């Protein structure tokens, strides 16, 4: 066991999740103040000694993305200058992840840029949940633990005890994720074939698979404006689906997402608390990833394998 003391800190992006993680670990959040100067600059102070400590900083880079990202970078820099044993950034939701490759001339690769910023700031490890693409792990020169919320979401769906279930990928790129769900829940698999004419606009083209008379669960890593997921639900209903549910690791839910979901054919949307959900909706349910993150943090601190957490899930079909 690591003799170094574990210290847990958090920025302002998701205080409720950080408090839940601290409670699960049987510890308290570190003493600090994360405020702003009158011009908007981050004003951060760590109010206790962390010399030689194993420090974990919890901060999702969700909306306001730039503020939360800058807050995390300043936090890392402050910790680095206080001589800790190790700094681990716990980033439940990794912002700027969708720009992970060049799709056209002169496009940025912002997922790599953020990885560079975190590395230069001083992290020695990164812990996240369901990165938008696995290749983002390769953008870092430090160890990256990419956890999955698939098991927690699948368990939540399993509790509904729905029969004739079909796991549906809203696009071709998410087939592996949907197949994991289908395997775990002993369900069938379907795929939505779509074209995206421009950013945040999706056009559903076709449903691949048998969904008539079935209960469908759309499985994705994130729901942003909810346009894609709502169009996919509409396409499934047109193909005769009995009911449509949706689940995603990250509820970004920007723009008119709540209005779209409330007026859509989707009966329930299940997301995790990697991003705090502040707007109320009868259709949205939240599953906590605090137990998952607390176990991972404990294993990292004690020098144990993080992949051991997923042995049971792998046996049941959840592929990490």
Q: How confident is the model at residue 318 (pLDDT cuts 50, 70, 90)?
A: low
**Whole-angstrom distance, CA of residue 178 vs CA of residue 285:** 19
pLDDT tens readout for residues 103-139: 889 999 999 999 999 999 999 999 999 999 989 999 9
Output 260 or 171, whichever has higher pLDDT.
260
Whether residues 305 and 278 fall in one domain = no
| Closest-CA residue to 186 (of 169, 163, 209) | 163
For residue 42, pLDDT over 70 is answered with yes
Contact assessment for residue 20 and residue 58, using Cβ atoms and an 8 Å cutoff: no
Q: Give mean pLDDT, residues 145-168.
A: 90
- The verdict on residue 299 lying in a domain is yes
pLDDT tens readout for residues 278-301: 888 999 999 999 999 999 999 999
For residue 313, pLDDT over 60 is answered with no
Residue 309 confidence (pLDDT): 76
Whether residues 263 and 251 fall in one domain = yes
Whether residues 154 and 44 fall in one domain = no
- The verdict on residue 318 lying in a domain is no
Predicted TM-score of the model (pTM) = 0.92
Whether residues 194 and 246 fall in one domain = yes
Whether residues 162 and 245 fall in one domain = yes
Whether residues 57 and 128 fall in one domain = yes
| Residue 200 tokens, joined | 């945040």
For residue 269, pLDDT over 90 is answered with yes
Output 124 or 199, whichever has higher pLDDT.
124
% of the chain with per-residue pLDDT over 70:
92
Whether residues 79 and 179 fall in one domain = no
Number of structural domains, the chain? 2
Output 77 or 104, whichever has higher pLDDT.
77
Residue 203 confidence (pLDDT): 67
Residue 158 confidence (pLDDT): 87
- The verdict on residue 72 lying in a domain is yes
80, 194, 239, 316: which is the annotated catalytic residue?
194
Q: Indicate if 194 belongs to the active site.
A: yes
For residue 88, pLDDT over 90 is answered with yes
- The verdict on residue 85 lying in a domain is yes
Whether residues 277 and 178 fall in one domain = yes
CATH code for the domain in which residue 116 is found: 3.40.50.2020
Whether residues 182 and 122 fall in one domain = no
For residue 210, pLDDT over 70 is answered with yes
Domain range holding 108? 6-147+290-313
- The verdict on residue 235 lying in a domain is yes
- The verdict on residue 83 lying in a domain is yes
Whether residues 41 and 162 fall in one domain = no
Whether residues 185 and 245 fall in one domain = yes
For residue 197, pLDDT over 80 is answered with no
**SS3 assignment for 26-38:** CCCECCEEEEECC
Q: How confident is the model at residue 177 (pLDDT cuts 50, 70, 90)?
A: confident
Residue 276 confidence (pLDDT): 96
- The verdict on residue 231 lying in a domain is yes
- The verdict on residue 319 lying in a domain is no
Residue 311 confidence (pLDDT): 61
Residue 162 confidence (pLDDT): 84
Whether residues 134 and 172 fall in one domain = no
């Amino acid at each position: 066991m690591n003799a170094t003391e574990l210290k847990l800190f958090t920025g302002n992006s998701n205080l409720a999740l950080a408090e839940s993680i601290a409670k699960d670990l049987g510890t308290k959040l570190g003493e600090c103040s994360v405020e702003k100067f009158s011009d908007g600059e981050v004003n951060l102070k760590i109010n206790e000694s962390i010399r030689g400590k194993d420090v974990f900083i919890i901060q999702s880079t969700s909306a306001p993305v730039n503020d939360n990202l800058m807050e995390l970078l300043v936090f890392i820099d402050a910790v680095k200058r206080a001589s800790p044993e190790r700094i681990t950034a716990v980033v439940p939701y990794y912002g700027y992840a969708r720009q992970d490759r060049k799709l056209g001339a002169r496009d940025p690769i912002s997922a790599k840029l953020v990885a560079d910023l975190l590395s230069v700031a001083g992290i020695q490890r990164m812990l996240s949940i369901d990165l938008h693409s696995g290749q983002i792990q390769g953008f870092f020169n430090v160890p990256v633990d990419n956890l999955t919320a698939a098991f927690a979401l699948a368990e939540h769906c399993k509790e509904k005890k729905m029969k004739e279930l079909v796991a549906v990928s809203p696009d071709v790129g998410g087939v592996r994720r949907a197949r994991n769900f289908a395997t775990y829940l002993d369900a069938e698999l379907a795929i939505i074939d779509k074209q995206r004419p421009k950013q945040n606009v999706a056009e559903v083209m076709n449903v691949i698979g048998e969904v008539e008379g079935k209960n469908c669960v759309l499985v994705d890593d994130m729901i942003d404006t909810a346009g894609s997921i709502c169009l996919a639900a509409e396409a499934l209903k047109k193909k005769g689906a009995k009911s449509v549910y949706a689940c995603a690791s990250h509820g970004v839910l920007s723009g008119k997402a709540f209005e779209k979901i409330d007026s859509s054919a989707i009966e329930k949307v299940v997301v995790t608390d990697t991003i705090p959900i502040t707007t109320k909706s009868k259709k949205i349910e939240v599953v906590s990833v605090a137990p998952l993150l607390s176990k991972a943090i404990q294993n990292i601190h004690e020098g144990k394998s993080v992949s051991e957490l997923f042995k049971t899930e792998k046996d049941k079909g959840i592929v990490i």
